[in-house]
Amino acid sequence: ILNVEQSPQSLHVQEGDSTNFTCSFPSSNFYALHWYRWETAKSPEALFVMTLNGDEKKKGRISATLNTKEGYSYLYIKGSQPEDSATYLCACRSSGGSYIPTFGRGTSLIVHP
Amino acid sequence: NAGVTQTPKFQVLKTGQSMTLQCAQDMNHEYMSWYRQDPGMGLRLIHYSVGAGITDQGEVPNGYNVSRSTTEDFPLRLLSAAPSQTSVYFCASSYSRRGSSYEQYFGPGTRLTVT
């Protein structure tokens, strides 16, 4: 079982603020890093998957970066909106074995109007 | 495609009762997994399967059994329910083909309460 950690655990921001949070994972035997968005009472939905060191992905106001050498990924939200309120999960896969990902505990984001 | 379906959506059990949570997917995914979600704990892997006839334990397997007789179905059995198994259960599936993103597709969840 990989040690995947996310910080902060929760975050309250005002509408219009930009914010970011971190996912850290073991850098050895890295295969892929996923970010998911999880709204209350719904199922997690995939945002990004990144596999290469230096990868950057963007979807609207949300972007993510990956550093596999030091074992971290950042998720950025520019100009937060109340509809961005959700828990953001990262999941890491290692090479070899079953390829089943290990999830972090998530960062809960609340955007206040 | 219906994607990943789970039944029931809600269930209340008494301590000691047994039941099966159903999960099915119509995407021909090889990998299927069961997770439980508890406050502040994220998603914890209970059991997983990499193909029909093959299952393995995850992080928190005690008290649960699984089987995978077909590619489509992956039921989770609670043998003797305990209050500690009160949780929301998610089933997920993904491709296993080399070069795919291995993105997990999640079902809608089953909220289980054990009294």
Rounded to a whole number, what is the distance in Å from the CA of B112 to chain A's nearest CA? 14
pLDDT the model gives residue A33: 93
A112 part of contact set with chain B, CB < 8 Å? no
Among B48, B60, B50, residue whose Cα is nearest residue B91: B48
Contacts of B35 in chain A (CB under 8 A): 103
B39 part of contact set with chain A, CB < 8 Å? no
pLDDT < 50 positions in chain A: none
Q: pLDDT tens for residues B41-99?
A: 889 999 999 899 999 999 999 999 999 999 999 999 999 999 999 999 999 999 876 66
pLDDT the model gives residue A29: 85
Q: Do A44 and B90 touch (CB under 8 A)?
A: yes
pLDDT the model gives residue A94: 85
pLDDT the model gives residue B98: 63
Q: pLDDT tens for residues B13-53?
A: 999 999 999 999 999 999 999 999 998 888 999 999 989 99
Q: Give the DSSP per-residue string, A13-80.
A: EETT--EEEEEE---TTEEEEEEEEE-TTS--EEEEEE-STT-EEEETTEEEEEETTTTEEEEEESS-
